[in-house]
Structures are given as structure tokens and as C-alpha cells.
Chains A and B, each alone.
Chain A
Amino acid sequence: MEKSFLTRNPSVLIFIACLALFTIAVTVMSEAMGSEMISTSFVKTLGKTLCLCLVAIAMDLIWGFAGILSLGHMAFFGLGGYMIGMWLMYARTEMIVEASMANAEIPPTAQEVVDAIGTQIFGVVGSSDFPVIWTFADSLFLQLLLVVAVPGLLALVFGWLAFRSRVTGVYLSILTQAMTLALALYLFQNDSGLRGNNGLSGLQNLPGADAIPQADISLWFFWASALALGLGYLLAAWVVSGKFGSVIRGIRDDEARVRFLGYSVEGYKLFVFTLTAVIAAIAGALYYPQAGIINPAEIAPIASIYLAVWVAIGGRGRLYGAVIGAAFVSLLSTWFTGGQAPSIPLGFYTINWVDWWQVLLGISFVLVTLFAPKGIGGLVDHFTGRVSPERYGADLGPDSGSLQEQEAEK
């Protein structure tokens, strides 16, 4: 008798329940509901954190389950943000332009309106013409389609090229890093048509929603992010639970063996790569309207490395681990950079967390990798009693995979 998907994966149910409870709690405590317990800015922070959790799930899927350490997934995240940002900017500027042109003595032609929008959007970077890539910016539907299509296609082409030539391991990591660097540098150029270093800004102002307070809008986005996270988690859990999941875990553990068993390793990898790119893009499309601005620095290689670090700290190979890691680290960094963490006076020197927080973060990466390779998520195992043998001691022999000290002593 097949058990149902949810009964086989009780963690999914627990997660969804937690997420729902959390969403309701935040909603009730938010300013939009009349309570002052959570400020709008914190609702935004939480909403953004949920999006980061979603992209962390994508990262966990590709790294924790398929064993591909992609250092380029924030590129897809950013691209998703850019795609939605183009529509947001265009639509909002269109309304401003139309309102201001309504006063003119002679009604404007369609071309004049477009030109004026161009001047408004690109005037900042010393240009006024619409680049080709803005062709669909006036249509929300098409631009939403592009949110998925552009990063998906990029991932498909890049993945196909990379997997076809059997680039694996650290080489693939460096290659994906090169991809995101190239994309960031490309977008940094003014000629790319996406306003160069300035990027797209003012995204939190939804077109036509000027009258609605940000308290409400932030809550809407929070709900949308929570919904997307829930669905993303379900999808990811479903993908890794069945036979497909077994195959990709197989690829992670021994790629050659899976290939010899007759599976199309490249196909599986490509699918996971593209799927996670699309999930990342959706997360990005939800994230940037809350952040308010997207610019090329967002997809610099370091962003993707941070993503990997979140997953590592949270515990890779388990979906909730990724979520915990992303939420934990990003909220902690919000707290430290907000200047609210109390300074520690040592007498001869005062530790200001603004100066030392990065050091702490860096050291904690090292400690987590060394002493808690399962990450925070590993704590769950202590409750559930699933504790695997301690494998972390010095190697007995110099070769990889040899028995290790503690193991041998048992």
C-alpha cells in the first residue's frame, strides 16, 4: 500500500503549519491590522526574508540534493527582479507622464508618451531612448512571463552547455560564478539598457496604488511571499520525495555510477538546474518590489556565495534546513547592521557590532563547516533521535573515503 506523499513526509506538514501560523501571527500584529507590534519596515524585512528562504530552498535542491554547488543562483533571482521591475517602473512612470501631459494644450501622440517615459526613466543615466529589451515592459502579463522565461532559458542554455561538456564539482562552481559575474558586469554597463549601476528603483510604489498605504502593500507582499514559499516548499519536497529524488541524490553521491545504471544524468541535472533557476526567479520577482530597488550589485558573485552559506548553516540536504539558515542569517544580519545590538565594552576596547559583525559571521561559517556540518537543521535530529554515527575525526589514511578515527574506534 503506497502511503500518501504527506504521510511519508511529515516534515512538510509541520513546515506548512508553522508557516501558516507565522503568517497569521505577523498579520495580526502588523500595522495594517491596527496593531503596532510589528512595524511596516519589519513586515517588509520578514517578507523579504521569506523570499530569501524560497531561493534558499532552490539552492538546497540544486546543492543539497543534486550535489551541484551553483554559485550563480542569485543571478536568476536578480533577473526575476529585473523583469518585474521593468514593468513596475514603466507602468508607474506612464501614469506620471500621462497625468502631467494631460495638462498640455495639444494631446500627446502615443510616440510622445513613450518618449517622455523614456526620458523619465533613462534621464537619470543620460539617455532617453528605449532599448529593445523594454519592448514588453508595458504589459504586465508578458513581463510576468519573462520573469520565468528569461532566467529559465538562461539556466537551460548555460546548464546544457556546462553539463554536456561534463563540467563538474568545483569547476562548475567557478563557472557558475563566472556566469553571474559576467551578468553583473554586463548589467553594470549603461549600454545594457537597464540603467547600469543605478538599476531600477522606486519599485515599492505599485502603479496606481499611491493611495494605499505601504503598511497594506507590505502585508500583501508578505502574504504573497509566504504563499510562494509554501508552494515552493511543497514542490521541492514533492520533487525530492519520489524516484526522481532518489536519482538526483544518486547523482550527488556518485554521478558515474548513476550514469552507468542507464540514467541520463545530464537530463536530470539540467532539469533541476532549470527548475531551481525558475524558483529563484520567482523569489526575486517577489523580493525586489519589497526591497524597492534592484541593481547589478545584487547579482555580484558574493551574493550567491552568501546563499550557499545560508544553506550550509541551516543544514543542506533538508529543505527546512535551508529555510532556517536563510531566515536566521539574514535576520541576524539585519539586527546587527541596524545598530541595535548593544556594544560590548571590554575596558580597553569596545566591541561595536557594526565593526565586528562580519568577523563574527565569517568565523561562524568556519565553525559550522568544521563542527556542525549538518547545520542548524541538524539539531532536529536530536529531537527525532535520528543521529548518524560521528564521522568527523582525522583521516586514518590519507586517501579520501577511508575510515576515520572515531569510526574505527567503535
Chain B
Amino acid sequence: MKLRMTSALVGALAFATSAMAADDTIKVGVLHSLSGTMAISETTLKDTMLMLIEEQNAKGGILGKQLEAVVVDPASDWPLFAEKARELLTVEEVDVMFGCWTSVSRKSVLPVIEELNGLLFYPVQYEGEESSKNVFYTGAAPNQQAIPATDYYLEELGVEKFALLGTDYVYPRTTNNILESYLKSKGIAEEDIFVNYTPFGHSDWSKIVADVVALGADGKKVGVISTINGDANIGFYKELAAAGISADDIPVVAFSVGEEELSGLDTTNLVGHLAAWNYFQSAEAESNDAFIEAWKAKMGEDRVTNDPMEATYIGFNMWANAVEQAGTTDVDAVRSAMWGQEYPNLTGGTAVMGVNHHLSKPVLIGEITEDGQFDIISQTEEVPGDAWTDFLPESAVLTSDWKDLDCGMYNTETSSCVQIKSNY
């Protein structure tokens, strides 16, 4: 009974896969959760990928071949990311993958793609401390988001006391760690840094908001740095608004709140609070207008664009150009072609892929406006992404250079490569 069933399944699977294999297309794997808790963020990126692939195909594809998207659903289940990645690479034999959102999903996929020499474009801001041979990080590293935002607090707003609020997972943990040590190096005392971690989807914020207000009791200007993730932000901002905390008194800068998250709430009471990204929908550039228009045409007038979408856009176009340049989709050739690859970003400048597999991008700080958009009040020059932060002693000595050193974790003190593969 059992045997019959399983073999039937095996047969079905084999049939389904062999039917799809065709040599005249370039296969692009899309590894984003379409169900489960992360679907809220990742579905958008899947749609972005499909749109980009469609556009590319309309332009004639790459190397004269059409692109074919292979969409899988890892269902916000981290082990499933590894399984699906393996499936994409070995069964579907995709040439490149775009995917993952959370760090843990990336860490889950890493061993698989490093073993099978796959290629992954990771489009989300993350905590750094990693540089894999097989991953191109098109989102922001901490020095492209967290550090400039903190500088803005220190210099422009004169904040002397910091509340680091985050969801309890790796990105806020590491970012806050980096920030703590950065703030200390800037002369902020340890007791002036308040740290709090909340679970995913937390909704009861009254106590924490009250705690933050109470921080002002010693006469120092308080600022909140929020790494709160996903829909927990909605409750947080609603509570902030209810408590009447004005951005002029206690500003909140968020690293995980973009246009998409704001579309879930009414922002009239949040005007002036901040977010730091490498892209805002309100950026003024021709390419951005075109991108937004295409997106709205595909998905509906009420949809917004956000930073990970721009990262996907840059990553995809860079990859396309690299493939054209290399003349093949072979991973090693494409990787070499990626180094130094340039592509205009949507904020008017040019993104450059570094040899540490991180992009150089401008850092934008925006104030929330009444219509759920951001008013860009500060824009830096392009900042090269730093895989290993300079503000943690263990990481300061590390560097990544895949071109000349052929190592993503190179200890400059001992002049040796710590490991070729990544830390999982």
C-alpha cells in the first residue's frame, strides 16, 4: 500500500519535473515565502521578480534566451528554505535564485548553495557579519542603514539617550550590538542605552512606550531606534500615536518600516517619525517613476514600492548584465562579471557591486508623511556596504574580498582566511 503510494508520487514528481526541463530558457528560481508569517513581506518580492522577468523577456530575454521563473513556496518554514533551494538547484537546475527575507532563512539556504555552488541574490537589509561566495547582498549592511541613521540622531537631532527596540531575532540583536558598541565609542554611557526585545507580532505596547517616555526623566533627549519587524510595527505605532509622542520630542527611526508596512495604518499621528533606507518611493528620478508606474499597472493603483523591491530590481538587472557580459549563466563566470558591475539605482545614482558581494548605495533618511510616504530629508553619497562591521572587536579585523583574496572572512591581523564557507 505504502510502497505503491510513494512510488506513484515519485513518478508524479519525476514527470512534473522532466516535463518542464527545456534547454532554450534560462531558469530563475524565486525563493520567497508565499504562505506563513513572512508571506506579508515576501509575496511582494515574488511579484517584483515576476514583473522584472516579464519586462526582460519583452526586451528579448538574456543571451537571446527567454527567462523562465520557477516559483516555490518555502512557507516561512526555515528548513523548507534549504529543501527548496536544493530542489531548485538540483531538480530544476535554475541558473540563479532570488530570494529569502529573514536572516535565518538565508542561513538555512547558505550551506546548500555553497555546497552546490549556486547563486543567490538576497534583497533585504540585514545585520552583516557574513560574506558568502555564492550570495550577492543587494540590501543594506549595517553601515548603510543603522550607522548613518545613528549619526543623524547624534549630529542632527542631538539625541543623548537611546532606546533600542527590536523584535527578538538575529537582525535586531546583531544590529543593536553593533549600535551599542558604536554609541559607546561616541561617548554615550551604557546606562543611557535602553534595549528591549519583543516577540514577533507583538501587539501590547503600552508598557514599553511608557518605559521609553520615562527615559526622558534625566533631562537628556531620547531617541528610539526601532528594529521592530513586520506587523508588530502597526501596534507599536498605534500606541505611539495614542500616547501623543511627537517626533519632535522622541523621534523614532525604524529600519524595518517602509511604505508597505505603513500602508497598514493611518499615519496622520506619526508624521515626522523617521525611517532609514536606501530607497523611498518618493525618490525623484525618472527610472523610479517608470518603475512605480510599471508596478502599479501590474499590481493595482494602491500598491506601493519599497526598498527590498529596489534591491531586487538592482540585483536582477546587475545579474542580467553580468550574464550578458560573461556570455554564459555559469555561476563562476557570472560571479566574476558581477564584481564592479554598475547599474543606475532608482534614487538617481549608481549602484556598484563590490568584491565583498555588497552594493554601494546611498543612505536615505525620510520622515513619515500623512499619506503613508516618506519625505526624504537626508541623502548621502553612495556608501559601500561593509560585510564585517568595524564596531565589533572580533569583526573589525575581518574583511571580505572574493576577487583578490578569494575569501569572505579574511583576518587582516593574521593575514589568513578564517574559512571559505560561511558561518551558518
A residues with a Cβ closer than 8 A to B are 15, 18-19, 21-22, 25, 37-42, 44-46, 48, 96, 99-100, 103-105, 119-120, 123-126, 128, 185, 188-190, 195-199, 201-202, 204-205, 214, 288, 291-295, 297-298, 320, 323-324, 327-328, 331-332, 334-335, 337-342, 354-355, 358, 379-380
Residue on B with the closest CB to A340? B16
Q: In angstroms, how far is the closest chain B Cβ from the Cβ of A313?
A: 13
The answer to whether B5 and A188 touch across the interface, beta carbons within 8 angstroms, is no
Report chain A residues within 8 Å CB of B6. Answer: 22, 46, 327, 331
B176 touches A126 (CB 8 A): yes
- CB contact under 8 A between A188 and B199, given known A292-B79, A339-B70: yes
Q: Which residue of B lies closest to A201 (CB)?
A: B424
Q: When the two chains form their complex, are residues A126 and B173 in contact, meaning their CB atoms are under 8 A apart?
A: yes
**B111 interface neighbour in A15, A120, A188, A292, Cβ under 8 Å:** A292
Residues of B within 8 A of A292 (CB): 79, 82, 108, 111-112
B-side contacts of A205, CB under 8 Å: 111, 115, 424
Chain B residue, CB-CB nearest to A341: B16
Known contacts A320-B2, A337-B74; is-contact A185 B173 (Cβ 8 Å): no
State A42–B17 Cα separation when bound (angstroms).
Answer: 12
Q: Do residues A41 and B87 form an inter-chain contact, with CB atoms below 8 A? A: yes
Identify the closest chain A residue to B424 (Cβ).
A202
Q: Are B78 and A297 in contact (CB under 8 A)?
A: yes
Decide if A291 touches B86 in the complex (CB within 8 Å): no
B284 CB, nearest partner CB in chain A, Å: 36
The CA of A339 and the CA of B33, in the complex, are separated in Å by 12
Contact between chains at A197 and B112 (CB < 8 Å): no
Contact A198 B170 (CB under 8 A): yes
Q: Is there an interface contact between A337 and B78, defined as CB atoms closer than 8 Å?
A: no
CB-based A-B contact count at 8 angstroms: 176
A190 to B177, CA, bound (A): 13
A318 CB to closest chain B CB (Å) equals: 12
Residue pair A324, B1 in contact (C-beta under 8 Å): yes
Complex interface: chain B residues within 8 A of A100 (CB): 411, 416-419
Within 8 A of A (CB), among B58-109: 70-80, 82-84, 86-87, 90-91, 103-104, 107-108
Chain B contacts of A334 at CB under 8 A?
83
12 intermolecular pairs with C-beta atoms under 8 Å apart: A18-B3, A40-B86, A40-B90, A41-B83, A104-B414, A105-B414, A126-B174, A198-B169, A292-B79, A293-B82, A293-B108, A339-B70
**A100 → B minimal CB distance (Å):** 5
Q: A123-B394, A197-B170, A291-B82 are in contact. List 20 more A-B contacts (CB 8 A).
A: A18-B2, A22-B6, A39-B90, A42-B10, A44-B83, A100-B417, A100-B419, A119-B394, A124-B103, A126-B174, A190-B168, A195-B170, A197-B104, A292-B111, A293-B424, A324-B2, A335-B13, A335-B16, A338-B73, A341-B16
Quick one: which of B379-419 are within 8 Å of A by CB? 394-395, 411, 414, 416-419
Whether B14 and A37, one on each chain, are in contact in the complex, defined by CB atoms closer than 8 angstroms, is yes
CB of B29 to closest CB in A, whole Å:
10
Q: Are A339 and B416 in contact (CB under 8 A)?
A: no
Interface flag for B239 (CB, 8 Å): no
Among B72, B73, B177, B419: residue with most chain A CB under 10 A: B73
Residues B71 and A339 in contact, CB atoms below 8 Å apart? yes
Majority secondary structure of chain B interface residues (helix, strand, loop or mixed): helix
B16-52 with Cβ < 8 A to chain A: 16-17, 20, 34-35
Contacts of B168 in A (CB 8 A): 188-190, 196-197
Closest to A202 in B: B424
Smallest CB separation, B282 vs chain A (Å): 32
Are B10 and A38 touching (Cβ within 8 A)? yes
* B103-132 vs A, Cβ < 8 Å mask (1 yes, 0 no): 110011011100100000000000001000
Q: Which residues of A contact B82 (CB under 8 A)?
A: 204, 291-293
Partner of A125, one of B3, B5, B77, B173: B173
How far in angstroms is the closest Cβ of chain A from B97? 13
**Contact status B3-A204, CB under 8 Å:** no
**Taking A18-B3, A196-B169, A331-B9 as contacts, is the C-beta distance between A293 and B78 under 8 angstroms?**
yes
Contact across chains for A41 and B91 when beta carbons are under 8 A apart:
yes
Say whether B12 faces chain A, with CB atoms less than 8 Å apart.
Answer: yes
Chain B residues 183-227 with CB under 8 Å of chain A are 197, 199-200
- Complex Cα gap A303–B64 (Å): 46
Q: Which residue of B lies closest to A324 (CB)?
A: B2
Interface residues on B, range: 35 or more
A128 to B173, CA, bound (A): 13
Interface residues of B in 321-346 (CB under 8 A from A): none
- CB-based contact B423/A298 at 8 Å: no
**B2 & A103 in contact (Cβ 8 Å cutoff):** no
CA distance in complex: A297, B201 (Å): 14
Residues of A within 8 Å of B170, CB to CB, are 124-125, 195-198
Known interface pairs A22-B3, A123-B129, A340-B13; A293-B83 also in contact (CB < 8 Å):
no
Residue from the list A40, A45, A99, A295 in contact with B78, Cβ < 8 A:
A295
The 9 closest A-B pairs by CB, nearest first: A202-B424, A126-B177, A197-B169, A291-B79, A41-B86, A201-B424, A340-B16, A292-B82, A293-B108
Contact of A354 among B73, B77, B414 (CB under 8 A): B73
A125: min CB distance to chain B, Å: 5
Inter-chain contact B78/A199, CB cutoff 8 Å: yes
Closest A residue, CB atoms, query B172: A126
Nearest CB to that of A287 among chain B residues? B79
Which one, A123, A320, A380, contacts B423 given CB within 8 A? A123
Instruction: Tell me which residues across on chain B come within 8 A of A105, comparing CB atoms.
Output: 414
By the criterion CB–CB under 8 Å, are B1 and A338 in contact? no
User: Is B3 a contact partner of A21 (Cβ separation < 8 A)?
Assistant: yes
Q: What is the CB-to-nearest-CB distance from A207 to chain B, in angstroms, rounded to a whole number?
A: 13
CA–CA, A327 and B6, complex, Å = 8
Q: List A contacts of B199 (CB < 8 A).
A: 185, 188
A124 in complex: contacting residue of B74, B86, B174, CB < 8 Å: B174
Which residue of chain A has its CB nearest to the CB of B85?
A41
Q: How far is the CB of B419 from chain A (nearest CB, A)?
A: 5
Decide if B104 touches A328 in the complex (CB within 8 Å).
no
A196: chain B residues within 8 A (beta carbon):
168-170, 173
Known contacts: A124-B107, A202-B111, A354-B35. The answer to whether A294 contacts B173 by CB under 8 A is: no
Chain A's closest residue to B30 (CB) is A339
> A residues within 8 A CB of B13?
42, 335, 340
Contact B174 A125 (CB under 8 A): yes
CB nearest neighbor in B for A195: B170
Q: Are A124 and B423 in contact (CB under 8 A)?
A: yes
The CA of A197 and the CA of B78, in the complex, are separated in Å by 10
Cα-based distance from A113 to B411 in the complex (angstroms): 16
Q: What distance in Å separates the Cβ of A254 from its nearest Cβ neighbour in chain B?
A: 32
Whether A338 lies near B79 (C-beta < 8 A) is no
CA distance A205 to B421 in the complex (A): 11
Residue of A at shortest CB range from B174? A126
